[in-house]
Amino acid sequence: MATIKPAIPKGTRDFSPEEMVKRNYIFDTIRTVFKKYGYQEIQTPTMENLDTLTGKYGDEGDKLIFKVLNSGDFWAEAERRNQKAGNPEWSSKTLLPAVSEKALRYDLTVPFARYVVMHQNDITLPFKRFQVQPVWRADRPQKGRYREFYQCDADVVGSESLLNEAEFVLIYQEALSNLGLKDFTIKINNRKILSGIAEIIGKPELIVDMTVAIDKLDKVGLNGVTKELLERGFTEADIERLKPVILLEGTNGSKIDQLKAVLTSSETGLKGIAELELILEYVSLFESQTSNVEVDITLARGLNYYTGAIFEVKTNEVPMGSIGGGGRYDDLTGMFGLKGLTGVGISFGADRIYDVLQELDLFPERTSLTTQVLFSNFDTEAEKFALPLLRKLRSEGISAEVYPSPARLKKQLGYADDKKIPYVVLIGSEEMQSGLLSVKNMKTGEQAKVRAEQLFMYFKQTTDAGV
RNA sequence: GUGGUUUUAGCUCAGUUGGUUAGAGCGCCUGAUUGUGGUUCAGGAGGUCGUGGGUUCGAGCCCCAUAUUCCACCCCA
């Protein structure tokens, strides 16, 4: 067999032992906070049926779904079905469903909605679930953008209360602070406010075009936004009316006041403002800070599905896309036939958070995660001598290993060195005769004599002391 | 999907207008130390120059295609 060049698909990554320690630290920190707020973990399959996913993420999103080719003779099967249908010409639109019926998970929200509908008889509403799993997008990779990445989602379905939204603000604050981030902004907006604005200028059908354009304010400036609005069907007069909203500044309170003034004639818009106000009030009633919560009217992500609150989290310490986002869907499960169930949720982008923590050097030192004790291996006799001692240490909860072959001691100590193992127990003929083992401290280079029976006590004390 | 960029030893990277045998640092292996690492010293191995075509007497260098890296758009975690 020809040897092939080892490689992994574009936008995917291997994770080394060191990276996994750090990644698990992030996952564990976020998980702990989710649990603390009453969320329970579920998992869903890597693959979903293709029709479960298509049409849920907009045209752009559908293109980014990784499709799985049918197994078996997919081509013969496709032709067979095509004949039944009277042999129309193949097009990319008809060929796809004929050769692919499964796809990789694109996010965690849609599979969750599917889950809720499938298990509606087994769950109690409101249902609060969290999920930490990889998702896949056939995007072009770049900084902070991967084709396989992990999301940490928490959603609650079946509760209209804005208390949920407020708690999500707290969850963001708590989880990100626990991870050591100091300066981040939780941006919040409301779809109803955007609808209200579009309504006021008499172009409710252009709400998406409007928000996509004003979302770019900090990137292209007012002139750029104006240009884009004109291209998207707005008039100069519309833009004049939009200007005060686009250029909204000041504290959350003053932004809200200004919006109220603009939206007086829009019932929807005022409802959105009332929701926003209540969420902020809840947050402060929790005696939590609102200084890193920012009302941002230009925030428009996920507009295809969000109906109420919209969240986005950005770190201000390093340049990076958003590290989290979320919002409310009034009809989360409707697409799967269960009407009238509202849902709201948030997501943490673990891979981006990793990149941020890495750049800010915020990962904690944790030395105890490697092997604590290595038994040297001089020969078969010494190896046999070491095994009961090894078992004893492990039964005491001390992670230990024996070098698996009688290699030169130099090599064995080099192994301990590379793996940052703090102690090596040397067992040779001398030690076996006297029962006094040589314990080498790899940091200081010092060697102590320890009785074989005392060995576990010796390490229990030293490792407990955090060496 | 659009535009640009990267690829040379295990790793990070040099490599002149196209010209003999493609280099460095680190790592690795061996020895100084037949039971002592991390430091030091001496020596050694390791390269289809991303891949496939082309131009040329001659290509790491020029041309085309393709993959890959990173970046900016679109969009998004």
Between A223-232, A395-404, A410-419, the lowest mean confidence (pLDDT) is in A223-232
The pLDDT-based confidence of A298 (bands split at 50, 70, 90) is confident
Q: What is the DSSP string of A269-292?
A: HHHHHHHHHHHHHHHHHTT---TT
> Cβ within 7 Å of strand B: which of A 264-323?
301-302, 304, 312, 321-323
Q: What is the pLDDT of residue A466?
A: 44
**Which residue's CA shows the smallest distance to C1' of B51?**
A5
The closest of A214, A193, A198, A171 to A309, measured between CA atoms, is A193
Q: What is the pLDDT of residue A3?
A: 61
pLDDT(A409) > 60: yes
* Percent of chain A residues past pLDDT 90, beyond the cut: 55
> Cβ within 7 Å of strand B: which of A 58-97?
58, 60-61
What does the pLDDT look like over A346-386, one tens digit per residue? 999 998 898 888 888 888 876 557 899 999 999 999 999 99
Question: For A58-71, what is the mean pLDDT?
Answer: 87
What does the pLDDT look like over A140-187, one tens digit per residue? 888 888 999 999 999 999 999 999 999 999 999 999 999 999 999 999
pLDDT(A78) > 80: yes
Annotated binding residues of A for L-histidine: 107-109, 137, 151, 155, 301, 305-306
User: Cβ distance A317 to A176 under 8 Å?
Assistant: no
Domain A369-464 class in CATH: alpha beta
Report the Cα–Cα distance between both ends of chain A, in Å, rounded.
49
Residues of chain A with CATH 3.30.930.10: 17-44+106-360
Annotated binding residues of A: 107-109, 137, 151, 155, 301, 305-306
**Beta strand pairing call for A400-402 and A373-375:** parallel
Q: What is the pLDDT of residue A1?
A: 43
Q: What is the pLDDT of residue A467?
A: 44
Question: For A82-86, what is the mean pLDDT?
Answer: 82
> Cβ within 7 Å of strand B: which of A 314-373?
321-325, 347, 349, 351-352
The closest of A68, A29, A295 to A169, measured between CA atoms, is A295
CB-proximal positions of chain B, under 7 Å: 1-3, 28-30, 33-38, 48, 50, 67-77
pLDDT(A255) > 70: yes
A127 touches strand B (CB under 7 A): no
Q: What is the pLDDT of residue A205?
A: 83
**Which residue's CA shows the smallest distance to C1' of B33?**
A410
A142 touches strand B (CB under 7 A): yes
- Whole-angstrom distance, CA of residue A214 vs CA of residue A225: 6
pLDDT(A401) > 60: yes
- Whole-angstrom distance, CA of residue A298 vs CA of residue A308: 14
Order of strands across the sheet that contains A40-41:
A40-41, A127-136, A148-157, A343-349, A324-329, A309-315, A184-190, A293-295
User: Cβ distance A169 to A351 under 8 Å?
Assistant: no
Question: For A10-20, what is the mean pLDDT?
Answer: 85
User: Cβ distance A8 to A14 under 8 Å?
Assistant: yes
Question: For A62-85, what is the mean pLDDT?
Answer: 86
Give the residue, A320 or A456, on which the prediction is more confident.
Answer: A456
pLDDT(A301) > 80: no
The pLDDT-based confidence of A203 (bands split at 50, 70, 90) is confident
Give the residue, A288 or A431, on which the prediction is more confident.
Answer: A431
A14 touches strand B (CB under 7 A): no
**Beta strand pairing call for A373-375 and A423-426:** parallel
Which nucleotide is the nearest neighbour of A228, by CA and C1'? B74
- Whole-angstrom distance, CA of residue A145 vs CA of residue A27: 18
Question: For A74-98, what is the mean pLDDT?
Answer: 81
The complex's ipTM works out to 0.84
* pTM (two decimals): 0.88
Question: For A278-293, what is the mean pLDDT?
Answer: 89
**Residues sharing a CB contact under 8 Å with residue A294, sequence separation 6 or more, in sequence order:** A185, A186, A187, A188, A252
A400 touches strand B (CB under 7 A): no
A140 touches strand B (CB under 7 A): yes
* CATH code, residues A17-44+106-360: 3.30.930.10
Residues of chain A with CATH 3.40.50.800: 369-464
